[in-house]
Amino acid sequence: MRTAIELLVNGVLLGGIYALMACGLNLIFGVMRVINFAHGEFLSFGALLGVSLVIGFGVPFLLAVVLVAVAIGLFGFLMQAALVERVVDGPPIMSLLLTYSASTVFVNGGLLIWGGGYQGMPGVFSGSVSLGPMNLSQARLVAFTVAVVLTGLVYAFLAKSMFGKAIRAVSEQPEIATVSGIAAAQIRYLTFGLGGLMAGAAGVLLAPMFASDPQMGARFVIKAFTVIVVGGLGSYVGAFVGALTIGVVEVVGGYLVGQTFATALLYFLMIAFLLLRPSGLFGVGIRR
């Protein structure tokens, strides 16, 4: 029983970090209907920058999260302005291929900067915390807490602020939003920046748990896609619930059937949702 609870809690903790990444990816999809393949590189750059700051320059971990999130957010903003905005009104295949190409360029850029080896964050939140009968990883607890707070702040921003409402309006009916006076291009820049900020923060939060390298983005972006298929394309709340589900499936699956097959379980889940419930748990469906 204790093991089952521990597995569940660990799955939820991992899912919280996936939520941070997937909510940003889903936000970008919701507003622009662009599938951002380079989102994984926002995460890997976040992780590697975080390692450089914390290990290389001795920057405190939580300050590094903030600095990296802002830097990757700005990177996302510029990527939208310089690249994606130019194809946003074109057929979806254009933005798909563009972000895929950008992803490849970023991976190679990362290899030039950080090399191909794995980089870790030894000694950062490496202990464990006893919570009743359970022993939980300190890194996971901190990462989960920060991720949930950040995801919640972005949710509150979307729900309460004027900008957030404009983002939701563009997401729901872009043509009407534009004719009603919302500067859709600015909203798209802001959304891409926000997505980058969330993925960058997720990268730093993952760094104490997983070894980081410039090619790690692909592994995580596929998980984020699984999350948004399960949670529902375009739904922020769906991405959060989907992420917790995927975290639990990954951890519990890893314990029951081994890590390799646990990854396959995620893909089974994605296939099942695509075939049986393509709108996901909370999805808005595909706008044609």
Partner 1 sequence: MGATPLLVVEGVVKRFGGVVAVNGATCSVAERSVTGLIGPNGSGKSTLFNCIAGVERPDAGQITFLGRRINGRSPSQICEIGLARTFQITRLFREMTVLENLVAVAHGLSDAAAVRRAQELLAMVEVGHLQHALAGTLSYGQRKLVEIARALMFAPKLLLLDEPFAGINPRLQNRILRYLERLRDRGVTLFLIDHEMRILLNICETVLAMDAGEIIAEGAPDVIRKDPRVLAAYF
Nearer Cβ to partner 1, position 47 or 170? Answer: 170
Query: Interface with partner 1 includes 176 (CB under 8 A)?
Result: yes
> Pick from 38, 166, 197, 246: which binds partner 1 (CB under 8 A)?
166
CB atoms inside a 10 Å sphere around CB 138: 14
CA 254 to the chain's CA centroid: 21
Give the closest residue to 240 by CA, choosing from 160, 166, 161, 153: 153
> Pick from 5, 63, 149, 183: which binds partner 1 (CB under 8 A)?
183
Query: Interface with partner 1 includes 190 (CB under 8 A)?
Result: no
Minimum distance, C-beta of residue 91 to partner 1, in the bound complex (Å) = 19
Stretch that binds partner 1, among 36-44, 87-95, 172-180, 203-211 (CB under 8 A): 172-180
d(CA 141, CA 127): 11
Minimum distance, C-beta of residue 179 to partner 1, in the bound complex (Å) = 4
Stretch that binds partner 1, among 74-82, 86-94, 156-164, 253-261 (CB under 8 A): 156-164
Residues in contact with partner 1, shown as a per-residue x/- string from 26 to 55 under the rule CB under 8 A: ------------------------------
Minimum distance, C-beta of residue 180 to partner 1, in the bound complex (Å) = 4
Reported as half-sphere exposure (CB side, CA atoms, 13 A), residue 38 has a value of 31
Give the closest residue to 157 by CA, choosing from 197, 185, 184: 197
> Pick from 104, 108, 135, 173: which binds partner 1 (CB under 8 A)?
173
> Pick from 96, 120, 128, 165: which binds partner 1 (CB under 8 A)?
165
Query: Interface with partner 1 includes 266 (CB under 8 A)?
Result: no
Query: Interface with partner 1 includes 288 (CB under 8 A)?
Result: no
Contact 230, 280 (CB under 8 A): yes
Nearer Cβ to partner 1, position 1 or 162? Answer: 162
Q: Which residues of the shown chain bind partner 1 in the complex (CB under 8 A)?
A: 160-162, 165-166, 168-169, 172-173, 175-184
